[in-house]
Structure 1
Amino acid sequence: MAAVLAFISVIAAWGMLFWDSFPPLFRRWNTDDYSYCWLVVPLALYVAWQRRELLPKVITPSSGSGYIGLLLSGLLYFLGKAAAVDALVFASMWLTVVSLVLFVYGWRSMKAFLFPLLVLAFAVPPPPFINRTLTFKLRLISSDISVRIMQFIDIPVFREGNVIDLGVIQLHVVDACSGLRYVFPTILLGILMGYWFNSRTWQRVLVVLSTVPTAIFANALRIAIVGYLARNVSVETAENFFHDASGIVIYLLSIIVLATWSLLLNLIGGRKPEQRAVSRPGYYGVPTGRALHVFLMAAILGLYFAGNMYLFTGRVIPQRASFDNFPLEIGEYAGKKYFYDDDILESLGSDDYLSGVFRDKQTGRDILVLVTYYDYQEPQRAVHNPVSCLLGGGGWSLASSRDLPADPQKGRPFKVRRLLMDKPGQRLLAFYWFQQRGRVITDEYMNKVYLAVDSITRQRTDGALIRVELLLNEDESVEHGQQILENFTKNLAIELKPYIPE
């Protein structure tokens, strides 16, 4: 009876602690890139059931390791909440499950539970900045391979960044078509195939290592098929295949390739004879001790919940002016505001923003300005590195990225990050910086560190991201374009003071 009550209490405490984290987690699962996560929990439970015979006859709880895991899960939880990184909160969810296993079954049972827990870890979507970085690289790789395939079968094609021009149709290999949505489920599939179909360690390793190249090549093949359909069937058929049926077809192809590779490795290296563990019924241990540790775990999770309520419900939101009143005259520049639709605003998650183009009255040069401001930041609504927003879209590639130190003589007493983007025939120069609670930061990771510190010590997480961009002329030097942005930035920074609290 004590064990049942302990289990109910820890489940209740776990659900209460992570209650506000389930909606963002399920939103991520509902996206095309992570829809496979809905299958992860049933798969982990099934694999755990398959390995139940590996449980030792004598079960000894590992309370020390369980409390260490619980402490680490609390650290991840509070860091994730304070630094607005929901991936850390999701990882904390997983680590509490590991701690519960240690409290109930102990380290000696990890032979049975280690692999199911590894499978369960795939239910945790990786941090967005990893997605953005990986997505951009995959877009370019997929685009390049698909173009080579089309050229090999004599289809005339031209690639500009992630834009593939077939003459009759242009394919934009955006995030959804980058192959990212196939990579993580394909890795999981490779792990499961290696576990189920291969018995030797080196065979399983080779199967897992082949998953990423398989996913990328399969996606490139999908794009090449679209090119073939566009040139030899119809543009309408190509577009329908590109956006609808191709994903399922290509993922099935990945499954076939991995299964074939797995079976081939068995033929090459042989397969170990099955060594089934002898069933060990009548597990016994120290039920009272286990129940006590589980009760204590529930109490600790309750303390985490109370700490979260104390630290993050009394956030301070400073007074500021609204961007509705932002002036449209900055030095020699006259501006025009632009407004986003609801979908973009929802993705930004900001409380206020300024988007517009400012034109030099004398030269006619345009500078694009985007400022997003947050009264408070939390997972799913926080500033992020704008590099991913600039890269890839429209064929842009990153030529250089570096910090420009503060230069008070030029009227810019803070550093900025300078980006130079290029594509055939065009170059784009951009400055950006995080302006957060009196600090100017250019490093995304340090921004998260200060966000966590200020959230705990000052109960403030307000802040803004400022971005300015200039399209360079054909023969214009980067230094000349940089000077134009310098002159504009110093005036912009003065105008921003009432709108971004110190």
Structure 2
Amino acid sequence: MAAVLSFISVVAAWIMLYWDSFPPLLRRWNTDDYSYCWLVVPLALYVAWQRKDLLPKVITPSSGSGYLVLLLGGVFFFLGKAAAVDALVFISMWLTIVALVLFVYGWRSMKAFFFPLLVLAFAVPPPPFINRTLTFKLRLISSDISVRIMQLIDIPVFREGNVIDLGVIQLHVVDACSGLRYVFPTILLGILMGYWFNSRTWQRILVILSTVPTAIFANALRITIVGYLARYVSVETAESFFHDASGIVIYLLSIIVLATWSLLLNLFGGRKPEQRADSRPGYYGVPTGRALHVFLMAAVLGIYFAGNMYLLTGRVIPQRTSFESFPMETGDYTGKKQFYGDDILESLGSDDYLSGVFRDKRSGRDILVLVTYYDYQEPQRAAHNPVSCMLGGGGWSLSSSRDLPANPQNGRPFKVRRLLLDKPGQRLLAFYWFQQRGRVITNEYMNKVYLAVDSITQQRTDGALIRVELLLNEDESVEHGQQILESFIKNFSTRLKPYIPE
């Protein structure tokens, strides 16, 4: 009876602690990139059931290790909440489950539970900027491979960045249709195939290492098929295949390739019988203290919940002026505000914003401005590196990214991050910086660190992200475009002070 009550209490405390984190997690699972996560939990439970005979005859809880992992889970939870990184909160969810396993079954049972817990870790979607950066680099590789294959079979093709020009059709290999959204499920598939089909460690490692090259090659083949259809069938057929059926077809091809590779490895290395800890069923008795430790875990989760509520209720939101009153005349520039629809505003998650185009009265050059301000930042509504958004569509590729040191002589006493993006026939020069609680930061990771520190020490997480962008003329140098943005920022940045609290 005590074991049942303690288990019910820890499940209730776990749900209460992460209740507000379930909606963002499920929203991520409902996207095309992470829809595979719905299968992860049933797979982990199935694998755990398969390995139940690996449990030792006598189960001894590991309370010390359990409390250590539980403490680590709390650290990740509060860091995720304070730094507005929901991926850390999701990792905390996984760590608390690991802690529960240690309290109930102990380290000696990890031979049975290690692999199911590894599979369960794939239910945690990686941070969007990691996924964007990874897929951006991989899609360039797959685009290059596909172009080489098409040239090999005499299909005229030209590639610039992530744009493939077939003459009759241009393919913009962006994240949403790159086919590389299958990278993470392919890695999971490789882990499962290595476990089910191979018994030797080196075979399993080779299967896992082959997953990313398989995803890249499969996507390259997909683009090649599109090129062939556009050249020898019709543009309409190529476009339909490119955006509709190709993803499923290519993922099925990845499954066939990995399964074949796994079986071939068995031919070379053979299979060995898996060593079992004990051929008899595991002992499922009630070791002394197990129910007590599980109940204490529920109490610790309750303390985490209370601590989070304290941080939320003590949150400080400073007074400021709304961007509605921001003057659209600054120096030699006159601006026109732009307003977003509800869908874009929801994706931004900001409490206030300034979007507009400022035109130089003398030269007629336009500068695009976007400032997003947050009264408080939390997972799913925080200022983040704009690179992931700028590379997310429109066919842009990142040509260069570097910090520009402060330039007080030109009226910019703070550093900015300079981005140069390009696509066929166009180049975009952009500056951005995080302006938060009196600091100007260009590094997203340091911004998260300061966000966590200020959340704890000042109970403030307000701040803004500022972006200014300029389309470069055909023969214009980057240095000349930089001078134009410097001249604009000189007056614009000083006018931001009433709108972004120090």
SS in 2 for 1:465: strand
Equivalent pair of 2:163/2:423 in contact (CA under 8 Å): no
Q: Which residue of 2 aligns with 1:316?
A: 316
State the Cα distance separating 1:356 from its structure 2 match. Answer: 1.6
SS in 2 for 1:5: helix
Q: Which residue of 1 aligns with 2:59?
A: 59
Asked if residue 192 in structure 1 is aligned to residue 192 in structure 2, the reply is yes
Change beyond 3 A, Cα 1:435–1:102: same
Distance 2:30 2:389 in 1: 22
Report the residue type matching 1:365 in the other structure.
R
Identical residues among aligned pairs (%)? 89
State the Cα distance separating 1:230 from its structure 2 match. Answer: 2.2
Q: How does 1:43-442 map to 2 (within 5 A)?
A: 43-275=43-275, 278-281=278-281, 283=283, 286-391=286-391, 393-442=393-442
Change beyond 3 A, Cα 1:425–1:206: same
State the Cα distance separating 1:368 from its structure 2 match. Answer: 1.2
State the Cα distance separating 1:277 from its structure 2 match. Answer: 5.5
Structure-2-length-normalised TM-score: 0.96
Structure 2 alignment gaps of length 5 or more: none
Asked if residue 469 in structure 1 is aligned to residue 469 in structure 2, the reply is yes
Equivalent pair of 2:175/2:392 in contact (CA under 8 Å): no
Structure 1 alignment gaps of length 5 or more: none
Q: Deviations over 1:396-435 (max 9, x none)?
A: 3333322222222221121111222334554332211000
Distance 2:496 2:217 in 1: 47
Q: Which residue of 2 aligns with 1:449?
A: 449
Q: Deviations over 1:154-213 (max 9, x none)?
A: 222222221222232222211122333211000000001001101111111000000001
Equivalent pair of 2:103/2:294 in contact (CA under 8 Å): yes
State the Cα distance separating 1:461 from its structure 2 match. Answer: 1.0
Equivalent pair of 1:138/1:178 in contact (CA under 8 Å): no
Distance 1:282 1:335 in 2: 73
Distance 2:90 2:160 in 1: 37
Change beyond 3 A, Cα 1:392–1:102: closer
Distance 1:136 1:56 in 2: 46
SS in 2 for 1:499: coil
SS in 2 for 1:382: coil
State the Cα distance separating 1:373 from its structure 2 match. Answer: 1.1
User: Alpha carbon RMSD of aligned pairs, Å?
Assistant: 1.7
Equivalent pair of 1:169/1:230 in contact (CA under 8 Å): yes
Distance 1:459 1:230 in 2: 58
Distance 1:42 1:392 in 2: 32
SS in 2 for 1:74: helix
State the Cα distance separating 1:318 from its structure 2 match. Answer: 1.9
Report the residue type matching 1:55 in the other structure.
L
Report the residue type matching 2:345 in the other structure.
L
SS in 1 for 2:497: helix
For structure 1, which segment, 304-313 or 389-398, has the greater mean C-alpha deviation from structure 2 after superposition?
389-398
Equivalent pair of 2:55/2:282 in contact (CA under 8 Å): no
